[in-house]
């Protein structure tokens, strides 16, 4: 692995400081995303990352998360293999922990 890793609690502490040139990338399924996601996050399922590299190149920093860390790690590895060096991966935790802690989520209705 050649990307930075942080726990979900660190993402929460910095969420209000994320600039428009950065993105929180939620790599869960669209159904999981609709059931609850971080405000302003971009949903791109982990198995579709390879087809969206051009879109992701526009961000200076990409924070990647999923439900518990496995899909985020896979997506981060895909991006790293494609030459990205601006990845921060939330590992060992994810939206399951975010929701369990009662942190704010948006839902698609």
Domains recognised in the chain with CATH numbers? 4-100 (3.40.250.10)
* Annotation marks residue 89 as catalytic: no
Q: Is the pTM of this model over 0.85?
A: yes
Q: What is the pLDDT of residues 38-69, one digit of tens each?
A: 999 999 999 999 999 999 999 999 999 999 99
> Considering 23, 25, 64, 66, which one is annotated as catalytic?
66
Q: How large is the average pLDDT for residues 29-40?
A: 96
Tokens of 7: 């726990």
Assign 2 a pLDDT band (cuts: 50, 70, 90): confident
DSSP E strands: which ranges in 27-76?
Answer: 42-43, 61-65
Output the six-digit token pair for 30: 């669209």
In 3D, which of 61, 55, 57 has the Cα closest to residue 87?
61
């Amino acid at each position: 692995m050649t990307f930075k890793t942080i726990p979900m609690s660190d993402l929460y502490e910095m969420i209000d400081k994320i600039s428009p040139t950065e993105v929180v990338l939620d790599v869960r399924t669209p159904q999981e995303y609709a059931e609850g996601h971080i405000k302003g996050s971009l949903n791109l399922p982990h198995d579709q990352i390879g087809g969206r590299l051009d879109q992701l190149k526009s961000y200076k920093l990409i924070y990647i998360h999923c439900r518990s860390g496995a899909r985020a790690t896979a997506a981060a590895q895909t991006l790293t293999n494609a030459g990205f060096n601006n990845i921060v991966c939330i590992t060992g935790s994810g939206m399951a922990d975010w929701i369990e802690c009662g942190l704010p989520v948006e839902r698609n209705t």
